Amino acid sequence: MLSLESFFSKFFKKKNLTGQTAMINLILFGPPGSGKGTQAAQLVEKYNLLHISTGDLFRSEIGNKTALGIEAKSYMDKGALVPDEVTINMLKKKVKENPDVKGYIFDGFPRTIPQAEALDTMLMADGQAITSLVTLNVDDEEIVARLLNRAKTSGRSDDANEGVIRNRLSVYKETTAVVARHYDKKDKTHTINGVGTIDEVFGRLTEVIDRALVAV
Ligand code: AP5
Ligand code: MG
């Protein structure tokens, strides 16, 4: 059965309940090193969306030696999450700076239930919502190999130490994975195999996203 939101979208040319054009808001989800950033770079071209990676935003703050960057670095170096309040405020600022976009690809956000709730509330205030969450499924050993390999060139302190990588994986399992279930209740989640060539994974992703967009 059509939800009320879908009904209005279909009959009012994809307008949402407040009369604004419905945005495409995707969450690219998955453990560290699963390929979120790599795939997002290609997805923004295909769907003409804005890519927002909270990890990239933090690294830019670190590069600029801001107070926010210095605070974030103390958590990132250990593979721990930066506190919700700091992260949510940074994300909201980035969204507010870019209002005239077709939609967003959120990468590395939300990572906790309070972050997901804050995102939902922020989107809802503009009559928008998350369109779809897609998880890239990659096993731990492949991830450790990918990130140790990237450490040779990335300069990322959280890639250089296997213990930190494994801590990032634990944080994902213990705190972040549950965020997918938050959106599952709304029938918006999909999981794809994230192992294969970058083009193979991109093909799987776009198949799922295209189907989700038809269903909006
Ligand atoms: P963040 O920057 O988000 O890092 P991450 O989630 O740990 O994931 P990565 O960016 O390392 O991996 P990715 O999934 O983007 O994969 P990528 O495409 O790069 O977060 C870093 C830290 O910031 C966190 O630990 C936390 O401290 C803090 N933080 C960020 N967001 C936060 C939030 N919301 N709340 C609180 N704290 C937050 O690929 C990885 C490697 O694999 C690359 O070398 C790539 O070339 C390679 N690769 C990609 N695809 C393939 C493929 N198909 N086959 C083989 N290799 C591949
Ligand atoms: Mg990334």
> How confident is the model over 132-142, as a mean pLDDT?
98
Rounded Cα distance between 47 and 106, Å, is: 13
Proximal ligand: closest to the CA of 205 = 1
Say whether pLDDT at 17 is over 60: no
**Atom 7 of ligand 1, nearest CA residue:** 32
pLDDT digits (tens, 9 = 90+) for 145-154: 999 999 999 9
The secondary structure of 24-75 as a DSSP string is: EEEEEE-STTSSHHHHHHHHHHHHT-EEEEHHHHHHHHHHTT-HHHHHHHHH
> How confident is the model over 25-31, as a mean pLDDT?
98
pLDDT digits (tens, 9 = 90+) for 165-214: 999 999 999 999 999 999 997 789 999 999 999 999 999 999 999 998 88
> How confident is the model over 158-166, as a mean pLDDT?
96
Confidence label for 6 from pLDDT (cuts 50, 70 and 90): very low
- Measured on CA atoms in the order 203, 113, 78, 163, is the torsion positive or negative? negative
* Domain locations in the chain as residue ranges: 24-210
Please state which of the four CATH numbers 3.90.1150.10, 3.40.50.300, 3.30.360.10, 3.40.30.10 is assigned to the domain occupying 24-210: 3.40.50.300
Distance 39 CA to ligand 2 centre (A): 9
Rounded Cα distance between 5 and 73, Å, is: 41
Q: CA 32 → CA 90, 109, 127, 148, 213, distances in Å?
A: 20, 12, 31, 12, 26
Peptide bond into 83 cis (omega under 30): no
**Atom 17 of ligand 1, nearest CA residue:** 35
Specify the pTM: 0.93
pLDDT digits (tens, 9 = 90+) for 77-90: 999 999 999 999 99
* Neighbouring-strand partners of residue 179: none
Ligand 1 binding residues, C-beta < 6 A: 30, 32-38, 53-55, 58, 75-76, 79-82, 87, 108-109, 111, 115, 146, 150, 158, 168, 196, 198, 201
Q: Which residues are catalytic?
A: 36, 111, 150, 156, 168
* Neighbouring-strand partners of residue 137: 193
